Chain A
Amino acid sequence: MSGPAIHVERLVFAYPDGRQALYGVDFTVERGERVALLGPNGAGKTTLVLHLNGILGSVAGGSGSGRIEIGGTGLHREHLPVIRRKVGLVFQDPDDQLFMPTVRDDVAFGPANLGLRGAELEDRVREALVQVGMQDHADLAPHHLSYGQRRRVAVATVLAMRPEVLVLDEPSSNLDPASRRELSDILTGLDVTLLMITHDLPYALQLCERSLLMDGGRIVADGRTRDLLGDAELMNAHRLELPYGFDPLSVPGPEGR
């Protein structure tokens, strides 16, 4: 298979209530890249990533136009199963992602849809839970887990499908510092293409060499994370603010590793 991991061209989309969220989005992510998707609230980030595996947009019967390719495969109705196997999406709210009665059922949901059964399925579930350190909680109900634990299980539900492209919607929000660091350890240990929406700019700098900046339904900047974060004018224009005392030019990033 050839072609970039993600290729998006002139993507336009309006929600059924008439509100337009994307006004022509273009970008490309190469294989193995780790890219952060930044932007203020309501910029259209979530809307954009929901297009990447065809759950929003014209393939899903919505109002919109444009072109998306994943690993060289065009996003058409007949390719949806293949695309959904390749692109793993972790939702913003873990309560949206964890819908089965127990953690085990939930992690098994994806692989079971891929056709895995029996011992193979069990192994896949255990492996994913071990990756996020939740193997001892397999029989609990999601609402008996803490928020950080739910977030980790949500990541496991997607890892269990062994995606080539991992897309995360605000993975570090609402996590305490230790869970935040543990999650970044998990993510850096994975051999996948990563696209991560985040408002946590130091996190973006730590994990992703490159960033896309989105506002008003368009990509307004694309470049090295360090350069974007260091551009005070750009940051101000799009309501992005660095934490107090944080200097993007002086901390080590992923390039340093």
Chain B
Amino acid sequence: MSGDGLLVPVDSKVHRIPAQVKIVALFVFVLAVVSTPAAHFWAFALYAVLLAAAIVVAKLPLPVVSRRLAVETPFIVFALLLPFVATGPTFDVLGVQLSQSGVLGAWNVLAKGTLGVIAAILLSATTGPRELLAGLERLRLPSTLVAILSFMVRYLNVVSDDLHRMRIARESRGYVGGRAGHLKAVAGGVGALFVRSFERGERVHLAMQSRGYNGRMPLLGEVGATRAQWIEGLTISLVAVTVAVAARVVGL
């Protein structure tokens, strides 16, 4: 996995919005989606349209979005089981008893989960790791946590590459072995990986100290977002909130 996350490096209006605005916008949007009762199908259709519009503005290629949807799989399975296991009144489809609340629940999990993932993809595909960190810093995430996050992101590739190299080294030596042997080899490798990562962590700290590190990381995000940027960035989320409120009102 790359330390760049899902970033699609093109230039678009969405890419240019400051990260802190996008994080807040994503959060508000998802909150609106999550708090919409499942039975208001039209509201979910509107959310989907909003997201589609944002994806077009962000110039994101569709395969990027669809490939990432795979992260949902275990919960799709769970959702598909719901109609069969949920309690309450049932109805009959082709001779199979399905629970009404189960079907609605499955829809609820699928719709909200999918919209949430797409919204999150929108954030991670339009925001580089550095901007994301700067955004979190602007949002007052504790600086130690931002520092840890930043080191993790920086060394994601290095550590993953180490793991990868170790596996190639093992396999290229024609390692077969039984399952137990395999387990031992992999786990030994992972143990060595930890020692390597830990020692690198120590060396990085030494390198920081030798350049005068005094316990405080320099700030990353020196620029704040303007009011216009906040308004622009939050547009979609505010529309979503309106939809959510409307759904509640209509549902009376």
Contact = CB atoms under 8 A, between A and B. Distances in A.
Interface of A: 50, 53, 55-56, 81, 84-85, 87-89, 91, 93, 95-97, 99-102, 105, 108-110, 112-114, 141-143, 157-158, 161
A91 B203 contact: yes
Nearest to B130: A101
B192 to A, nearest CB: 15
Given A93-B200, A96-B207, A113-B211, 12 more contacts: A81-B214, A88-B210, A89-B210, A96-B204, A97-B207, A99-B204, A101-B129, A101-B130, A101-B154, A102-B130, A108-B218, A109-B218
B212 A113 contact: yes
A113 B150 CA distance: 18
B113 interface: no
A84 B155 CA distance: 25
Contact of B212 (A50, A97, A110, A141): A110
Interface of B: 3-4, 129-130, 133, 150-151, 153-155, 157-158, 200, 203-204, 206-214, 218, 220
B154 A99 contact: yes
Contacts of A99: 151, 154-155, 204, 207-208
A108 B207 CA distance: 14
Contacts of B153: 101
Contacts of B150: 100-101
A160 to B, nearest CB: 9
Contacts of A108: 218
Contact of A100 (B3, B154, B158): B154
A9 B67 CA distance: 62
A108 B213 CA distance: 12
Given A97-B207, A101-B154, A143-B158, A85 B212 contact: yes
Contacts of A84: 209-212
B154 A81 contact: no
Contact of A113 (B154, B158, B214): B214
B129 A55 contact: no
Given A95-B158, A99-B151, A113-B213, A50 B206 contact: yes
Nearest to A97: B207
Tell me the interface secondary structure of chain B in the complex.
Answer: helix
A91 B207 contact: yes
B154 A161 contact: no
Nearest to B214: A113
A19 B147 CA distance: 31
Contacts of A93: 200, 203
Given A93-B203, A101-B129, A81 B3 contact: no
A157 B204 CA distance: 13
Most buried by B among A87, A100, A158: A100
A50 B154 CA distance: 23
B212 A161 contact: yes
Contacts of B200: 93, 95-96
A95 B203 CA distance: 10
Contact of A55 (B3, B209, B220): B209
Nearest to B209: A55
Contacts of B129: 101, 141
B1 to A, nearest CB: 12
B130 to A, nearest CB: 4
Contacts of A81: 212, 214
* 8 nearest A-B residue pairs (beta carbon): A113-B212, A110-B211, A101-B130, A96-B203, A112-B218, A55-B206, A89-B210, A143-B157
Nearest to A56: B206
B209 to A, nearest CB: 5
